[in-house]
Amino acid sequence: MKAELVLDCRNEHGEGVLWNALDRRLWWTDIHGKKLWAYDPATKKSESYPAPDRICCFAPRRDGTVVAAFADGFAFFDPKAGRRDEIAKVEAELPQTRLNDGRTDRQGNLIAGGMDEKDGKPVSSVWLLDANLKVTKLFGSVRCANSTCFSPDGRTMYFADSPDCEIVAFEYTPGVSVGKRRSVAKLPKERGVPDGSCVDAEGFIWNAVWEGYRVERFAPDGRLDRTIEVPVQKPTCVAFGGADLDILFITTSRLGSGSEILEREPQSGSLFAVRPGVKGLIDAPFAG
């Protein structure tokens, strides 16, 4: 199957895509473009909202605002007003790190992991922000957090430290801690690395393969079930959306792409989609 262009938005670094059931729109962030984007599949209209800093991942709130993992910490953000209200700084003692990938768990807690932007060293961590706005460190020694998503019952958390080229699963106590870890799937390093992921209604994991021109679907036991071709080099994240949650949306990036690639693939950084024949699950809005 092949993904098709949905919106020619050419983000610098599209990421963190999710379906917001509260307004029935698809939302994502252009991290380095410092904007949130929204797209309505019914009307095919899109909007973008400038942000005061890089929003790396986020989740909707019932009042129309979002809770965001900015590069330097957690904050509430009102896209229409452009207002940021601080919750907590993260890894302030590590100026080379920033928050990166994340999603809410099934209970509406936000999990966001970091990355070392300077040297790629395992010095960052994965953090949990609960409904009481308490920040808890889940685990450390992370180089570049990605693929955070949850099984349908919410008791398994999937994750990838991208340079390891491996998707892993943790036993997960919602809003509390992670437990035993197991390997789910390893990607051949010469064919790209795991980036953002989501889980469908059948419990399978969909992963965007950075620099891999594809999205892959894995069974919970790690079996590769299918591959979706993406016509640009850098898929970044995936989410099911649409009225029936039967469209897989794919964000992409132009970050670090040379002029030769961008000339060949001018729609890099745009939004793509495919109907894969299965349905997704709605990401919970933030509980706080």
CATH number of the domain that residue 230 is part of: 2.120.10.30
Asked whether residue 249 is domain-assigned, the answer is yes
Residue with tokens 């999603």: 103
Q: How far apart are CA 176 and CA 130, in angstroms?
A: 9
SS (H, E, C) the chain: CECEEEECCCCCEEEEEEEECCCCEEEEEECCCCEEEEEECCCCEEEEEECCCCEEEEEECCCCCEEEEECCEEEEEECCCCEEEEEEECCCCCCCEEEEEEEECCCCCEEEEEEECCCCCCCEEEEEECCCCCEEEEEEEECEEEEEEECCCCCEEEEEEHHHCEEEEEEEECCCEEEEEEEEEECCHHHCEEEEEEEECCCCEEEEEECCCEEEEECCCCCEEEEEECCCCCEEEEEEECCCCCEEEEEEECCCCCHHHHHHCCCCCCEEEECCCCCECCCCCCCC
The first and second tokens of residue 3, run together, are 């993904």
- Contacts for 38 with CB less than 8 Å, ≥ 6 apart: 20, 23, 25, 26, 27, 46, 47, 48, 49, 79
Structural domain includes residue 57: yes
Q: Is residue 284 part of a domain?
A: no
Token output for 149: 């998503």
Return d(Cα 36, Cα 13) in angstroms, integer: 11
Q: CA-to-CA distance for 62 and 266, rounded, in angstroms?
A: 36
Examine residue 174 and state whether it is found in any structural domain, yes or no.
yes
Q: What is the pTM for the complete model shown?
A: 0.97
Residue ranges of the chain whose pLDDT lies below 50? none
Instruction: Note the pLDDT of residue 234.
Output: 98
Output the pLDDT for position 189. 87
CB atoms within 10 A of CB 110: 28
Q: Which residues of 117-133 are buried (b: 16+ CB within 10 A; e: fewer)?
A: eeeeeebbbbbbbbeee
Q: Looking at the domain assignment, is residue 288 inside a domain? A: no
| Cα–Cα distance, 198 to 3 (Å, whole number) | 16
Q: Which domain holds residue 36?
A: 4-274
Number of domains, the chain? 1
Active site residue 153: no
User: Is residue 168 situated within a structural domain?
Assistant: yes
Q: Does 66 map to a domain?
A: yes
Q: Which of 72, 101, 130, 195 is catalytic?
A: 195
Q: Which residue has the tokens 């990355």?
A: 115
CB neighbour list of residue 268: distance below 8 Å, 6 or more residues apart: 10, 232, 233, 234, 252, 253, 254, 257, 261, 262
Asked if the structure places residue 82 within a domain, the reply is yes
Find out whether 148 and 99 touch, Cβ atoms under 8 Å: no
Asked if residues 163 and 117 have their Cβ atoms less than 8 Å apart, the reply is no
- Backbone φ and ψ of 126, nearest 5°: -110, 130
